[in-house]
Structure formats: structure tokens, C-alpha cells
């Protein structure tokens, strides 16, 4: 498991008491929930890549991972296990050495913030 996955999973585990623990049946996400999953992954992914290259502090990276957790908890349905599985699957396709993807993910953050973090 890559460091971004471990850290993001740990952040989700610290907030898991909000959701309780139910079964881990497969959940299919589409529409707004799929968009929220992608946005959460973008936050954690860009934080990990930027931190690993000295472009972001550990504290700021942790804040980004907490934002990812908030988006998942607030905007993605299903059980904790279902959300975590979908989140990990989304992150799996994001290579830290693919700078075009890094730039694209970073460019999506403003839209993600507007869509999922503003009242």
C-alpha cells in the first residue's frame, strides 16, 4: 500500500465512529457520489505527491487528507468499508510519477472545494 493510501485510510479510520461499522458488500457509485470520491482522492493524492517533493508541509498535507475524509463522510453513501474500498480503488489509478495527472488533480481542487466544501 502506498503512503498516500495508508495515510488516507488512517484519516478515515479516525473519523469512522461517525458512521458505525456495517458489512462490506460491494457498492456502485455514480453521479455526485462518484464525483465526491474522485475529489476526495484528488485532495489526498496531490497532498502526498506535493509533500514527497517538498512542495507542501506535513501539516498542510494532513489538512488535505482530513478534507478528503470529510468529503467521503458527508457526500458518499454506503458503509465505511464500502467507501474505503471505492476510495482505495480510485487512488490505485493515480501514479505519483504521472505529472500530467498530478497537474490535472491539482487543477480540479477549486471545483471540488466549491462543489463539496461550500455551504
DSSP string, 42-104: HHHHHHHHHHHTTSS-HHHHHHHHHHHHHHHHHH--S-HHHHHHHHHHHHHT--TT-HHHHHH
Q: What is the pTM of this model?
A: 0.76
For residue 119, name the pLDDT band (cuts at 50, 70, 90).
confident
C-beta of residue 70 within 8 angstroms of C-beta of residue 43? no
* pLDDT on residue 10: 46
Tens digits of residue pLDDT in 50-79: 999 999 999 999 999 999 999 999 999 999
Tens digits of residue pLDDT in 74-104: 999 999 999 999 999 999 989 888 899 999 9
The full set of domain ranges for the chain reads 27-116
| Helical (H) or strand (E) element with 10 | helix 3-14
Residues in the chain: 119
Amino acid at each position: 500500500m502506498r503512503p498516500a493510501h495508508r495515510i488516507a485510510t488512517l484519516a478515515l479510520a479516525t473519523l469512522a465512529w461517525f458512521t458505525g461499522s456495517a458489512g462490506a458488500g460491494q457498492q456502485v457509485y455514480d453521479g455526485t457520489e462518484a464525483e465526491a470520491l474522485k475529489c476526495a482522492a484528488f485532495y489526498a493524492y496531490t497532498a502526498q505527491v506535493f509533500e514527497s517533493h517538498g512542495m507542501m508541509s506535513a501539516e498542510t498535507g494532513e489538512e488535505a487528507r482530513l478534507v478528503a475524509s470529510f468529503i467521503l463522510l458527508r457526500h458518499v453513501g454506503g458503509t465505511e468499508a464500502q467507501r474505503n474500498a471505492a476510495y482505495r480503488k480510485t487512488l490505485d489509478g493515480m501514479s505519483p510519477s504521472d505529472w500530467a495527472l498530478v497537474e490535472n488533480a491539482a487543477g480540479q481542487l477549486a471545483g471540488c472545494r466549491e462543489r463539496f466544501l461550500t455551504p
